[in-house]
Amino acid sequence: MTDGISNVHMQVMWNRLIAVVEEQALTLVRTAFSTSVREAGDVSAGVFDRDGYMIAQAVTGTPGHVNAMAAAVRNFIDDIGADNIFEGDSYVTNDPWKGTGHLHDFTFVNPSFRDGRLVGYFACTAHVVDVGGRGFGPDATEIYEEGILIPIMKFAERGEVNQVLINIIRNNVRENEQVVGDLFSLSSCNDTGHRRLMDMMDEFAIDDLQELRDFIFENSLSATLERLRELPPGSYDNELTVDGYDKPVTMKLRLVVSEQGVLADFDGTSGLSEKGINVPLIYTTAYACYALKCALAPQIPNNHASLSPFKVTAPENCILNAKHPAPVAIRHVLGQFLPDAVLGALHKMLPDRVPAEGSSALWIIQLGARPIDARQAVADEHAQSSEILMFNSGGTGARPTLDGLSATAFPSGVHTMSAEVTEHLGPITIWRKELREGSGGAGAQRGGLGQVIEISANTGYRIYINAMFDRCQHPARGRDGGLSGAAGGVSLDDGSLMQSKGKQWIPDDRHLVLNLPGGGGYGAPGKRDRAMIAQDIERQYITLDQAKRDYAYEI
């Protein structure tokens, strides 16, 4: 066989391996109990070599999970021990520093054996609806308050599930059927990946993954370095300030670019918060590398080798490198601003390539519903407390040649849950879920629109919200003359303002109203096509007053 044919053969197997992990991820989505997995796709899945390095990842999933999981598998191998890894095993953790950044994410790793010999690992991650403690929110002051922490351990050994672990988890979470069901789904999806890998190895008559892994890693690394050689070397700085919990948080970044790689250094970033908005370095690395990869080498598949030229550092116990036992429950809020910080520095190196700032961090609605009359809850088995989770997004930043995307999750990439599905999970009514007129920043290219969401408890119930929202004091900035998007806001339907972070009860006769932020504009508003302005007015994307004020447009 010639080298050319051999390379084609390897490429076919590489594509097949990606299909294997995609089926692994979709199995998790199809079998999961929680809407965050089933409806939103807040998951990751991948296959790893015998040393714990990621060979391929599923397209389905979020970069925070995928890139953090890419580093996590080696933690499993170290903690379990090479001599304690058996066929039929399944390992689990939700340790924020060894997994994907907070307790609500469970990561599973299953070894894959062929003819009694270890050939690799399958890993997956998903967000579960509850882990006990204070619930999903920012109010804790240390990790111990945030819920149950499961260290790296065996979920199953040689095919036998650890029932003691299941019993401990079941008795420490509010939504135990959903959570335990999701844990079994996670372990099972890894098994699906293993079985499909065995089918593939039978078809291609291979006994291990080492040669294929070497082909993938060598080609991915060389292709990534080739892209980096095209860049102007140097240092590029950026600074981004966001709301924080009770005071603003500033992220300072210096990108050092060379032919060998890119270093993202967050020296000078704000220190730890007393509340749960802190970010472990594993999650900071995940989203900073994601932004670099998207902007500099987007066509190259994600794996250990294609990520290896990108390095991230941050001072210990700054807010982007929180150490145990710092509270980290809503690490996604700051973590999902990291691409904005990185792209702002890249804009100085590569003008006209990256978008303006967007709403960025998900607006996750975490509600607790409780019967008003405790006696009713005892008498009526259906009148139970419930936890309700709903992902929502504001607008993305405008792009150099295109408007921003409205109500779109960037950088997380998750879907929202439909109003109908969410109402089925608990005693609430979603009265409105619509685009927020006028929220996109003006520019030659307009920023994407946020949303307006209105929710109330059903008769006989009251609800509280664990608010975890940002961009309320620091809206998304425009780029190259574009204007900022609209800031977000949290209020009641009578106009009373609420806090953007922390647990708060909704008065029994009131509705919760969320105004999600819009993305920043790109380029001077005066350069926008007049026909596009007229179209925005017709579609109610902007108001007449906004057209006149920001675009000097008269009907």
Question: What pLDDT, in 10s, does the model give residues 118-140?
Answer: 999 999 999 999 999 999 999 99
79 falls within a domain = yes
Please enumerate in sequence order all residues whose Cβ is within 8 A of that of 424, keeping only pairs 6 or more positions apart, or say none. Answer: none
Q: What residue type is assigned to position 50 of the chain? A: R
370 falls within a domain = yes
Q: What's the rounded mean pLDDT across residues 232-251?
A: 97
303 falls within a domain = no
Give the pLDDT score at 382.
55
Q: Given pLDDT bands bounded at 50, 70 and 90, which one contains residue 7?
A: confident
Side-chain half-sphere CA neighbours of 47 within 13 A: 33
Give the pLDDT score at 2.
40
Parallel, antiparallel, or unpaired: how do β-strands 489-492 and 512-515 relate? antiparallel
As a whole number of angstroms, the distance between CA 334 and CA 314 comes to 14
At residue 364, does pLDDT exceed 60?
A: yes
At residue 71, does pLDDT exceed 80?
A: yes
Give percent of the chain with pLDDT exceeding 90.
Answer: 91
Q: Among residues 121, 111, 109, 116, which one has the least CA distance to residue 88?
A: 111
Q: What's the rounded mean pLDDT across residues 382-395?
A: 87
119 falls within a domain = yes
309 falls within a domain = no
CA distance between the termini of the chain: 70
Report the C-alpha dihedral over residues 12, 18, 24, 28, rounded to 10 degrees: -150
Give the pLDDT score at 554.
85
**Domain final residue pick, 219, 250, 280:** 219
Q: Given pLDDT bands bounded at 50, 70 and 90, which one contains residue 5?
A: low
User: Taking a C-beta distance cutoff of 8 angstroms, is the pair 126, 106 a contact?
Assistant: yes
Q: What is the mean pLDDT of the chain?
A: 95
At residue 40, does pLDDT exceed 80?
A: yes
**Domain final residue pick, 155, 188, 219:** 219
Give the pLDDT score at 138.
97
At residue 181, does pLDDT exceed 60?
A: yes
At residue 3, does pLDDT exceed 60?
A: no
278 falls within a domain = no
Beta strand extents in 115-152 (DSSP E only): 117-127
Q: Is the full-model pTM beyond 0.85?
A: yes
Q: What's the rounded mean pLDDT across residues 24-44?
A: 91
Element (H, E) at 404: none
Give 251-258's long-range contacts (Cβ < 8 A, gap of 24+).
251/320, 251/334, 251/337, 251/338, 251/341, 253/341, 253/342, 253/344, 253/345, 254/345, 255/342, 255/345, 255/346, 255/349, 257/228, 257/231, 257/232, 257/233, 257/349, 258/228, 258/233
Q: What's the rounded mean pLDDT across residues 139-143?
A: 97
Residue 295 Cα to chain centre, angstroms: 18
Give the pLDDT score at 378.
46
Q: Among residues 312, 390, 358, which one has the least CA distance to residue 129?
A: 390
Count of domains for the chain = 2
**Domain final residue pick, 178, 204, 219:** 219
Cα 52 to Cα 72, 90, 213, 450: the distances in Å are 8, 15, 12, 40
The backbone torsions φ and ψ at residue 505, rounded to the nearest 5 degrees and listed phi first, read -85, 140
Give the pLDDT score at 501.
98
Domain carrying residue 497: 359-555
At residue 96, does pLDDT exceed 90?
A: yes
As a whole number of angstroms, the distance between CA 287 and CA 154 comes to 28
Give the pLDDT score at 374.
65
At residue 1, does pLDDT exceed 50?
A: no
* SS3 state at 312: strand
Report the C-alpha dihedral over residues 334, 338, 344, 348, rounded to 10 degrees: 140
Write out pLDDT tens, residues 480-517. 999 999 999 999 999 999 999 999 999 999 999 999 99
Please enumerate in sequence order all residues whose Cβ is within 8 A of that of 374, keeping only pairs 6 or more positions apart, or say none. Answer: none
304 falls within a domain = no
342 falls within a domain = no
Cα 38 to Cα 35, 329, 536: the distances in Å are 5, 21, 34
At residue 555, does pLDDT exceed 80?
A: no
As a whole number of angstroms, the distance between CA 241 and CA 245 comes to 12
Give the pLDDT score at 392.
96
3-12, 313-322, 445-454, 528-537: range with lowest mean pLDDT: 3-12
